[in-house]
Every structure is written in C-alpha cells, then in structure tokens.
A and B are shown apart, each in its own frame.
Chain A
Amino acid sequence: GAVVSQHPSWVICKSGTSVKIECRSLDFQATTMFWYRQFPKQSLMLMATSNEGSKATYEQGVEKDKFLINHASLTLSTLTVTSAHPEDSSFYICSAPGETQETQYFGPGTRLLVL
C-alpha cells in the first residue's frame, strides 16, 4: 500500500527556535496533504490543508504565521513551527489521499518537545 513518511520522528528544541517537519509520499503523488496535531490522550485535530503549488488553508484558531506550510512538490509538504513555545509540544501527523481516493494514508507522526 501507499506509504507516507515523516522526518524527524521526534525532536527536542529550545523555546524560541524553529522546527521543520517533513511529510513525504513515498510511492505516490499527493497534490493535497493534511496536517494534524494530537495532544496526549486526545484525538487528532486538523491544523491545515497543504496544497501543492498554492497556499495552505488553515483551520480556525491555527496561526498561519506560526505554522508555516510549504508544499513544494507532489511528494513533499513541510510544516515549520516558528518561535516554538512549550505549549506547541505535541504529536504532529500528516496524511495524504491515496490513489484509490477511498482512504487516506497517515505518516508515523513527529513528537515535538519544546523546552
């Protein structure tokens, strides 16, 4: 089946620094990718929709200047958490629609810890 990878799998950074998370579709093209955030013991919450070649669309309450999304190619979307703070510590997950258009494929997630 289709595979979506994320890098890094975990990252620890100091408050105020920026962190980039990559999401790649390994064996298929994805013009659209989705970014989710998940806090402990909670469900996934959609942050934004990443569109290849155009601006991302953000969900209400998600700061677009803080969570920069770039979908530069048909297989890569990046999420940059700028000026990270401890409250940004979370599990970030991306997904991409599969070729069959019946389901989506999720990356393994990236654990971010901001100290």
Chain B
Amino acid sequence: LAKTTQPISMDSYEGQEVNITCSHNNIATNDYITWYQQFPSQGPRFIIQGYKTKVTNEVASLFIPADRKSSTLSLPRVSLSDTAVYYCLVGDTGRRALTFGSGTRLQVQP
C-alpha cells in the first residue's frame, strides 16, 4: 500500500466543517483512497472511498484532485461525537491487509 501522510491532530468546534488532508504521492493507477474512523476502544469503521474527483455520502465528502497525489476528507458541521482518529489508506484496501499510518486525531469541542 502507498505511504500516506496526514496531520497528527486537529481541533475543531461543534458545527464547523473539518477538512483533513492526506498526501499519497506514490499512489498507483489502480489504487483507491479509503478513509476509516476509529473511536476509543472500538474497531475502525469505514467512512468513504473514492478513486477520483468527488465522492459524497451521508457521513462525509471526499475530494480527490486530478493528480490523485492527495485527498481531503470533509466532515460537515461536526459534533462532539465526531471526536475520533481518522485514517487515510491507499491501495487495494478490500482484499489485502491494511497498513495503518498514524492517523489524524480530531478533537471536537463544544
């Protein structure tokens, strides 16, 4: 899996939009970009996945520029319950074991 780089931590307030950017300069042509969310003492949870341009679901949006060397996870109007660690992974994340980076620890305050 391609190596990823993302901020170690971010702080936000309730109601704000949070954007977490992940760099993946060595992404391969067939690689997908996948984001997971992990709450303390729980297993990671799939948030969103994309290949190019923009993907949106009920939880988040994923923006991927044309060169695909980075991606941005956008969480609209965060709440306290969005406090978690967010992991960006790149590759064939379905069938193969995942290599987790350090993730981004998001702290949402009232």
Contacts and interface: CB of A to CB of B under 8 A. Distances in A.
A104 interface: yes
Interface in B88-106: 93-95, 97-103
Contacts of A34: 97-98
A114 B100 CA distance: 25
B81 interface: no
Interface residues of B, number: 21
B41 interface: yes
Most chain A beta-carbon contacts within 10 A, residue among B41, B46, B97: B97
Contacts of B93: 102-104
Given A91-B41, A103-B34, A46 B46 contact: no
Interface of chain B, main secondary structure: loop
A95 B95 contact: no
A43 B94 contact: no
Most chain A beta-carbon contacts within 10 A, residue among B42, B43, B87, B93: B43
A49 B97 contact: yes
Given A43-B101, A43-B102, A44-B100, A101 B44 contact: no
Contacts of B46: 103-105
A109 to B, nearest CB: 5
A43 B45 contact: no
B41 A32 contact: no
Interface of B: 32, 34, 36, 41-46, 49, 87, 93-95, 97-103
